[in-house]
Structure 1
Amino acid sequence: MRWEDFRQSENIDDRRGDSDGGGGGGGFGLPIPGSGGGLGIGTIIILGLIGWAVGIDPRILIGGAEMLSRGGQSGYSQPQQQSQRKAGPPSDQMGRFVSAVVAMNEDVWKEALPSQKNIQFRPAELVMFDGETRSACGKAQSAMGPFYCPVDQKMYLDTSFFNDMKRKLGGGGDFAYAYVISHEMGHHIENLLGILPKVQQAQQRASSQAESNGLSVRVELMADCLAGVWAYHANQKFKILEDGDVEKAVNTATAIGDDRLQQAGRGRVVPDSFTHGSSEQRVRWLQNGLKSGSIDSCNTFAR
């Protein structure tokens, strides 16, 4: 993937190396404040890998994490202490890559969102951190994986997650990493579209955990598709894709399917417990966006 020659975003809060992390509490469910259901894109991967390695059903670990999430904060919690923001975009290789991907998302969405949906795009800041930090949704920890907090409209990323993708999942590569970042930006687009608050309300009315999980799956699959929409327009605009890039992103989407993780951890699949979608679903929706470039093609709630 080509990215070195493009601008870097100013909307990066680089907290790597800060020593004032922690505080807060609570987890990150479906990316809606106070929803209490589902887990971030990286959490399912990490817990699945842990369960597979030690022979514990990942659903037990995931269920425990969700219980902690429900017992944590709901809504906005003002961080006890603000980190000292570093001036300017990051200067290291990984920081520059993340900043460039965020910038390309900004350049795509500031045109695509108004032209396709008549909605003004507002940038979402990306917070880079090591280990843990604070967010308006509670404590952000590496084990939670990348996530979007709609309360402060920020994305949170510990880039060590990319090393886990490469070493443990075989899903490495710049475009695969860009897909992860763009998935979180996809949640921001969902928020700007007004979808996240509606899903939160629907979850509160849900008659069962399975119904609530189904809503979470639709939100996550839509974010996958919107990541594909970004890639379509970024390639049209900047010619970023190189041979093998799409295959790497597809491999990543396949590796993080709920069915793949459950099969590895327990030896069987329980569809009602899915929170992110099957491998087939994640690949299909990512490719929907990649092929169409249309936000409307990502309407997972109409299918």
Structure 2
Amino acid sequence: MQWRGRRQSSNIEDRRGSGGGFGGRGGGMRLPVRAGGGGTIGIIIVALVLWLGFGINPMQLLGMAGGGGGGGSVQTNRSGPGVAGTADETDDFVATVLADTEDVWTQRFQAAGETYPAPTLVLFENRVQSACGIAGSASGPFYCPSDRKLYIDLSFFDQLRNQLNAPGDFAQAYVIAHEVGHHIQNITGVLPRFNQARQNMSEAEANAMSVRVELQADCYAGVWGHDTRQAGYIEDGDIEEALNAAEQIGDDTLQKRGQGTVVPDSFTHGTSEQRQTWFRRGFESGDFGACDTMDGAI
């Protein structure tokens, strides 16, 4: 992906360390993947995925709300995981990808006569307090609809490459674009409707609806990829990196890797094939309307 020397977003909040800057220069203003939900849904979904897919105890995440415990099982790596170069270059990469999502969705909202309210991306280490609760690095990147912020410990990129077999800068860009997809769902009303509807759903029904939500976010990431290609920033092999990442974080693949068996009723993000299909649909069509996974369900 061609990202160096381009516009970087200022909608980034750096909560790493104790100073006051960006990219290890302080803490002032300056991302299995999942949707957050009002209150606790996002953390619960991720806890279940981690439990089933990786054998990580959900209490390792949820128990931190009491103020004790560490920051999950992933150790922070500030050497620029997945993006060749320094930690500062990784920060620059994230800021550039976020700027790309801002440009794409601002233009699309303007074309529809609407204003795009860009989200803030929060960089953290080990654990973080969001309006949806406290989460650790083990929860992976997430979006909290209550504060309209994306959260990521950049050590996840190292995990994506080394543990999940999904290397490449565009695999990382796909993760960020997916979380921005949840922001699109939030401001267009999909997440609020889901959070309301799930109160009257069984666990199996809620899981099935969560899959629809996640696949739509994958499709929106594909739409972003379409426009990024049109802008001339995508290089040979980039889309293959994103599709491989979608495969590696499919529920069936994670469960096979983590426990050797697959439990379809517990899926919350979709199979590898589904995730690839919906990302490809958005990418090839460039059509926001092609991403309707809900089919009137909510």
Instruction: Look up the match of 1:216.
Output: 210
For 2:108, which of 94, 108, 112 is the aligned residue? Answer: 112
Secondary structure of 1:300's match? coil
User: Structure 1 pair 173/286, CA: closer, same or farther in 2 (3 Å)?
Assistant: same
Q: Which amino acid aligns with 1:127?
A: V
> What's the CA shift for 1:46?
5.2
**Alpha-carbon distance, 1:72 to partner:** 6.6
Question: How far does residue 169 in structure 1 lie from its aligned partner after superposition?
Answer: 1.5
Q: Take 2:274 and 2:43, find their aligned partners in 1: how far apart are those partners?
A: 17
* Partner residue in 1 for 2:39: 34
User: C-alpha root-mean-square deviation of aligned residues, in Å?
Assistant: 2.7
Secondary structure at the aligned position of 1:302 is classed as: coil
Deviation at 1:40, TM superposition (A): 6.0
Q: Is the 8 A contact 1:39 1:275 kept in 2?
A: no
Structure 1 unaligned spans of 5+: 20-27, 52-57, 74-90
Summarize deviations over 1:89-129 as a string: whole Å, max 9, x none.
xx91111000000001001100112325x432101000011
Instruction: Compute the displacement of 1:266 (Å).
Output: 2.6
Which residues in structure 2 correspond to 1:134-213 (within 5 Å)?
A: 134-206=129-201, 208-213=202-207
Instruction: State the secondary structure of the residue aligned to 1:17.
Output: coil
In 2, Cα distance between equivalents of 1:65 and 1:273: 20
Residues 162, 268 of structure 1: alpha-carbon distance in 2 compared, 3 angstrom cutoff: same
Contact 2:219 2:278 in 1 (8 A): yes
1:151-201 per-position Cα deviation (integer Å, ceiling 9, x unaligned): 110000100000001111120111100000010100001111111111111
Contact 2:34–2:179 (CA<8 Å) still a contact in 1? no
Match of 1:84 in 2: none
Q: Per the alignment, do residues 250 and 125 of structure 1 end up closer, same or farther by CA in structure 2, a change over 3 Å counting?
A: same
1:103 aligns with 2:99: yes
Give, in angstroms, the shift of residue 264 of structure 1: 2.1
SS at match of 1:172: coil
| AA in 2 matched with 1:223 | A
| Per-residue CA distance 1:40-91 (angstroms, 9 max, x = gap) | 67x677556643xxxxxx7xx46x679x49x979xxxxxxxxxxxxxxxxx9
Structure 2 distance, partners of 1:112, 1:34, is 29
* 1:79 paired residue number: none
User: Aligned residue pairs: how many?
Assistant: 264
**What runs of 5+ residues in structure 2 fail to find an aligned partner?**
20-32, 67-86
Given that 1:37 and 1:212 are in contact with CA atoms closer than 8 Å, whether structure 2 keeps it comes out as no
Aligned 8 A contact 1:113 1:119 in 2: yes
Residue 122 (str. 1) matches residue 117 (str. 2): yes
Change (3 A) 1:166 1:96: same
Residue in 1 that maps onto 2:223: 229
Answer yes or no: is the 8 Å Cα contact 2:2–2:233 preserved in 1: yes
What amino acid does structure 2 have at the position aligned with 1:289?
G
Cα distance, 1:7 vs structure 2: 0.3
- Of 281, 285, 294, the residue aligned with 1:292 is 285
Which residue in 2 is equivalent to 1:81? Answer: none
Q: Structure 1 residues 272, 249: CA separation in 2 closer, same or farther (over 3 Å shift)?
A: same
In the aligned structure 2, how far is the partner of 1:8 from the partner of 1:199? Answer: 32
Normalising to structure 1: TM-score of the pair? 0.80
* Matched residue type, 2:175: V
* Identity score, percent: 46
Question: Residue 129 of structure 2: SS of its match in structure 1?
Answer: strand
Query: Shift in Å at residue 5 of structure 1?
Result: 2.4
Relative to 1, partners in 2 of residues 1:249 and 1:108: Cα closer, same or farther, differing over 3 Å? same
What's 2:82 paired with?
Answer: none
Closer, same or farther: CA 170–45 of 1 in aligned 2, 3 Å: farther
Does structure 1 residue 263 correspond to structure 2 residue 256?
Answer: yes
Deviation of residue 15 (structure 1)? 1.5
Matched residue, 2:240: 247
